[in-house]
Chains A and B, each alone.
Chain A
Amino acid sequence: MKTPQTLERSHGWRKWLLRHETLLLVVLVLEWSLFYYFGTSVNRRGMTVGFGTLDRQFDILRHSCEIGLLALALTPVILAGGIDLSVASLLGLCAVIFGQLTHDLGLSLSIAAGATVALGALAGGLNATLIAGLRLPPLIVTLGTYSLFRGLAEALTRGAVTYSDFAPRFLSLGQDRWLALPVQAWVFFAVAAGMWMLVHRTVAGRSFRVIGFSPEGARFAGLPVTRNLAGVYVLAGAIAAIAALIYTARLGQAKADAAIGYELFAIAAVVLGGTSIFGGRGSVTGTLLGVAVIAVLKNGLATLPVVIRLNAAEEISGMLTGFLLLAALAGSTIPKLVSARRNRSWSNGSFISPSP
């Protein structure tokens, strides 16, 4: 039940949202500077190496394109109060399908790529039908498709087949540069710009937040809830397919186990960026910043000599990311709790999740 106090607090929420992104930006600049200072050096061979090199920065950009795309795909989904655990599995499935289309069916690269994106959207449509159409809980549906898509990828390849030997023209998507930046970065920027326009400047996009805030209220307000909700899942599928193409081009190989575990970091990036996991609140800018903070953290830590010597880059960055996520959550929730206690009310009962 939304009380008048909640409406009043929504203005406070908007102010807070802005502050959250600024904070994130500050954190990003801070960590970047720290890693630049401590992670760049002249190595034993006399070359300048480490975090501060252009090479390294491009690598960070390259590595974050796929998770970034998945995070972008998840943003409208989570804004609208849903969730999609299946995006990384869908990436794997699309990668394998692309491999089959180009290798087994001999289709040209562009046709195969187009077909892959279409199939990705179709798969997203399965989520859409079950979640928006049948009104099933997104957590369960995407838990099911998480296994189903990965399973289909394994079944299609019998687990064994790996597609490599792609045309150099295709590999350049993942490994070359265009106009001074890695090629996939341009794709990522294009998708990011498109997503920003969609979420923040279109009527449909604005409806996502309303739907996430209160689906029933949105329905009563006459918004096409079912259609828009279905749309975000289909869109997520299409973007996952694009990410699959980039992933395959970068590694030069399409395998059923592509991108295992990526969905967790994508979700972490979205939440870190200030989007509430319950929906109704968040922004694309926040997601981009979240991806940047996590990517810089992961890669930057790995350039610190002490971390290299400890052979613990992955573990330490994993743990720090976990802490960062908790800190970001605590940081955004504690003020609400404090004011709630002051008002002596339970407001939305923030620790109880609305029906997922």
Chain B
Amino acid sequence: MNSSRRLFLQGTALALVGCLASPLALTAAEGKAMIALMPKSKGNAYFLSCKIGADRAAKELGVELLFDGPVDSNAAKQNEIVENWITLGVDAIAVAAENKEGISTALRKAQKQGIKVVTYDADALADARSFFVNQATPEGIGYALMDEAARLCGNTGEFAMITASLTAANQREWQKKIEKRLAEKYPQMKLVAVRPCDDLKDKAQSEATALMSANPKLKLIMSICSPGVPGAAEAVKQAGRVGQVKVIGLGLPNENRRYVKEGVIDSIILWNTENLGYLSVYAAVALANDQLKPGAKSFKAGTLGEFKIEGDQILLGKPFLFNKENIDQFDF
């Protein structure tokens, strides 16, 4: 194939792509507000369940919802996507920030263009957003996990932790709070190891197997990364140590339902992620319509009712415990 023919083909291909682009650009809904929601990573079921609540809120409010994020947690990509939304001219943005400082530049830019910004799940810098919709403080989460672990172990014994990656910011926060609670309240318990699973269920399973084998007195495995919970549960099951080694963690009901019913997992702690998405969209829309202003003390979000606002944080509430009794009521 000579150069001119190749050029022609490449040019045609690109032109085709461009032609596809233009008519669709004109079908932007006129008049409807546009709210953009960004997860930390698009494929994470946790954020997908936030989207369910967000979709519901968008329908109730009659706004258009855009949902996009990096495929794997990537701060640089998050910035790029925010830029795209500024391009589109959305009315408000709700972001779960992978990198606090990194995303703030892009968010400030959005604010300068009149776009309202809230963060949810993971915060950016305070001046880059109007409110932070907090599902629960890292303290709330860490303490809830540690307390539940202690309860299941009878306040004494060894336990191990599985985290996402050693550098993940949220997990670092939670780990710090867990260790703090451990030191303050449960001196008879010991955290013997922290192993990363890189967000891979299978790796979590291998790690859990090794942990049980290396620490014969291990009483509990706590996974603070959601793919790690079913992984650890499977490891306990395959090791035949159900009941001897408890499994708890931060996870989604659907992924862990089977293990909870079988008694492998005692409880998973989360918050209603759908409500988180719902609340975030409501807050974003209210901001865009000037109904929610800085300094407000509470905020009413559709069918969910009133939520407390502490400073610039809208609190979803306390972490929620899913166990055998109530897990069937949830579908996410």
Interface residues of A (CB under 8 A from B): 19, 23, 26-27, 30-31, 34, 37-39, 41, 43-45, 47, 49-51, 56, 59, 63, 154, 157-160, 162, 164, 175, 250-253, 255-257, 299, 302-309, 311, 313-315, 327, 331, 334-335
Contact = CB atoms under 8 A, between A and B. Distances in A.
A255 B167 contact: yes
B34 interface: yes
B68 A49 contact: no
B14 A313 contact: no
Given A34-B15, A253-B99, A304-B21, 4 more contacts: A34-B17, A257-B167, A305-B28, A311-B66
Q: Which of B70, B77, B86 is most buried by chain A, counting CB atoms within 10 A of its CB?
A: B86
Given A302-B81, A307-B21, A331-B6, A162 B167 contact: yes
Interface in B131-160: none
Contacts of A38: 18, 21-22, 25
27 contacts: A27-B7, A31-B14, A37-B18, A38-B22, A39-B87, A41-B87, A43-B88, A44-B88, A44-B89, A49-B86, A49-B87, A49-B88, A158-B166, A162-B167, A164-B101, A251-B99, A305-B21, A305-B88, A308-B66, A308-B84, A308-B87, A311-B42, A313-B84, A314-B77, A327-B10, A331-B1, A334-B1
B27 to A, nearest CB: 9
Nearest to B73: A257
Contact of A23 (B3, B14, B71): B3
A183 B106 CA distance: 18
B45 interface: no
B94 to A, nearest CB: 15
B34 to A, nearest CB: 7
Contacts of A250: 102
A327 B3 CA distance: 12
A59 B86 CA distance: 13
Interface of A is mostly: helix
Given A252-B101, A309-B66, A162 B88 contact: no
B20 interface: yes
A286 B77 CA distance: 26
Interface string B50-88: 000000000000000011101100011100110111111
Given A56-B87, A251-B102, A308-B84, A44 B6 contact: no
A350 to B, nearest CB: 17
B89 A251 contact: no
A246 B20 CA distance: 37
A307 B20 CA distance: 10
A251 B68 CA distance: 21
B80 A299 contact: yes
Interface string B152-188: 0000000000000111010010000000000000000
Given A34-B17, A306-B21, A162 B87 contact: no
A23 B169 contact: no
B34 A44 contact: yes
B113 interface: yes
- 5 closest A-B pairs by beta carbon, nearest first, are A159-B166, A43-B89, A311-B68, A252-B101, A305-B25
B28 A303 contact: no
B99 A315 contact: no
B169 A162 contact: yes
A251 B71 CA distance: 19
Contacts of A314: 70-71, 77
B83 A56 contact: yes
Contacts of A334: 1
B304 interface: no
Contact of B81 (A26, A44, A56, A313): A313
B80 A30 contact: no
Interface in B1-57: 1-3, 6-7, 10-11, 14-15, 17-18, 20-22, 24-25, 28, 34, 42
B114 interface: yes
B277 interface: no
A205 to B, nearest CB: 27
A332 B169 CA distance: 45
Interface in B250-266: none
Nearest to B90: A44
Interface in B86-108: 86-89, 99, 101-102, 105
B106 to A, nearest CB: 9
A250 B99 CA distance: 12
Nearest to A19: B3
